[in-house]
Structure 1
Amino acid sequence: MISLWFGKFLKLIKYLIILALSLVLIFAFVPVPVTGVMIERHIQAMWSSQKNFDLQHKWVAFEHISSAMKQAVVAAEDQKFPDHYGFDTEAIEKALAYNSRGQKVRGASTISQQTAKNVFLWTGRSWFRKGLELVFTGLIELVWGKERILEVYLNSVEFGPGVFGVEAAAQKFFKRPASKLSRHQAALLAAVLPNPLRFKVQDPSPYVYKRQQWILKQMGQLAPIEQRLADN
């Protein structure tokens, strides 16, 4: 009986691996229609009886996203994005040292890791999820490449409750397409990314305004991300 259940378990694992690899390959070329975090938000809304939950998402091609928006998220979230292979080891070491000294937890996730989590997984801090995140990060770095990762990230990241992707965010908060976002608007969107359920684009706190100004400064100091991607 034990061997029978073990065999079924191994078969399930095999099918899950095949499914995961298939999705990575498909999403290398096809717009991502729904992500793990979107599904998670739907389930949370159902459990909390949130009847007015409205998920907003619209895919937009990389060339139809403003250069300022691409520059802003890299400046805010992962300035070494074009140069690493999915993981920023220096940031991880600093985060581990920081977390060992205090109670607050500092993350060190790259844009590649965040994309893997957003698309294929769910939020949370369990070691199991983190392990899966490492696997998917390695896969998308190998199969997708940097430009595709950034394109999927910008189309899947949450900018507010139920607002996924830069096109939906640009339309909702600024009444314009993602291609027309200004530097200040892009920096404001990027400023809420550490916690889009807490920080608000429409009602920015002093912290969000301060972070926006820091991002704008970093954007000016970094070489254009599209140029950096082309050079790598």
Structure 2
Amino acid sequence: MAKNTFRTIIPEEEPEKKNPSGWWKSFWEGRKRYGLLRFILRKFLKGLLYFFGITITWIILLKFIPIWWTPTMLDRKFTAIAEGRDSEIYSDWEPYENISKEAALAVVASEDQLFPDHHGFDFDAMWGAFRHNLRGKHIKGASTISQQVAKNVFLWQGRSYIRKVLEAYFTFMIELIWGKERILEVYLNIAETGKMTFGVEAASLRYYGHSANSLSRAEAARIAAVLPNPIRFSIKNPSAYVQRRSNFIMRQMRGLGGKAYIANL
């Protein structure tokens, strides 16, 4: 008589579903709860809040402390190291009251004569530069001192729409939080004034042999004359163009009314 045998059949187990984790879990749960578009909008707004909080705190801190380094300084230093050149940066922060007002007037006369009156942007100059650039091969800039400070302190060199938008944001904020005197103080200390040289104090010590607090009008005008291209132009060995530009700046300084023009920033 055959013996009955019974075989227990164990059903095949379904593969275990892995629970999403990390950012994917956050994304998945958010998508289910709010819908994809609402979830993305919430994340975007949250990112903006973080951005504004961090940048406004940063701007407030830099209103009161010296700015020893900028992205431009770091770029010059790393480029020099990569090329095997001397990478020493010449920079010496000085408070506004310790810098000759001839230097302050010279950069305003040279770079941004409406500086005491505008709110960070010279729209007439920007429109003129835009029309010039449409016609010509040489790109003409129209950045105010405030825009140059915003770019050099907070951003990178180069041209892009993203950088321009950020530059406008930081320009507006430093005008609002710093005020004119602080913006001019920062500019006088971080503007590139020669090869590996930043600020009027470092330029004065390096090229004139004395501190910026005793700069004459002619010396200040020559520093301002090289600002459009301090790598190409030299304070120590001025070309005929730099000499002509220095004389032009001195005439502009007199035309603005001298140091009284920047007395009430």
TM-score by length of 1: 0.91
SS state at 2:193 partner: strand
2:244 aligned to which of 210, 214, 231: 210
Counterparts in 2 of 1:225 and 1:82: CA distance versus 1, 3 Å: farther
2:61 counterpart of 1:34 = no
Cα shift at 1:11: 6.8
Amino acid corresponding to residue 109 of structure 1 in structure 2: S
Counterpart in the other structure of 1:178: 212
Q: Which stretch of the first structure deviates more once superposed, 77-86 or 194-203? A: 194-203
Q: Aligned partners of 1:139, 1:70: CA distance in 2, in Å?
A: 22
Cα shift at 1:9: 8.4
Counterparts in 2 of 1:45 and 1:17: CA distance versus 1, 3 Å: farther
Q: Aligned partners of 1:11, 1:45: CA distance in 2, in Å?
A: 40
Cα shift at 1:131: 1.5
Q: Deviations over 1:180-225 (max 9, x none)?
A: 1111110000000001111111222221111111101001100345
Amino acid corresponding to residue 54 of structure 2 in structure 1: L
Cα shift at 1:20: 2.0
Counterparts in 2 of 1:15 and 1:34: CA distance versus 1, 3 Å: farther
1:110 aligned to which of 144, 156, 160: 144
Cα shift at 1:10: 7.7
Where structure 1 has 5 or more consecutive residues not aligned to the other structure, the ranges are none
2:78–2:87 Cα contact (<8 Å) kept: no
Counterpart in the other structure of 1:67: 101
Q: Deviations over 1:116-137 (max 9, x none)?
A: 1111112212222121111110
1:68-217 equivalence runs, <5 A: 68-217=102-251
Q: Deviations over 1:94-114 (max 9, x none)?
A: 111111111111100000001
SS state at 1:148 partner: helix
Where structure 2 has 5 or more consecutive residues not aligned to the other structure, the ranges are 1-23, 29-39
Name which one, 1 or 2, has greater alpha-carbon Rg. 2
Q: Deviations over 1:7-43 (max 9, x none)?
A: 9988776555433222210111111121121122223
1:21 aligned to which of 43, 56, 65: 56
Counterpart in the other structure of 2:12: none
SS state at 1:107 partner: coil
2:253 counterpart of 1:219 = yes
Q: Aligned partners of 2:96, 2:178: CA distance in 1, in Å?
A: 14
Aligned length: 229
SS state at 1:159 partner: strand
2:99–2:213 Cα contact (<8 Å) kept: yes
Q: CA RMSD, aligned part only?
A: 2.1
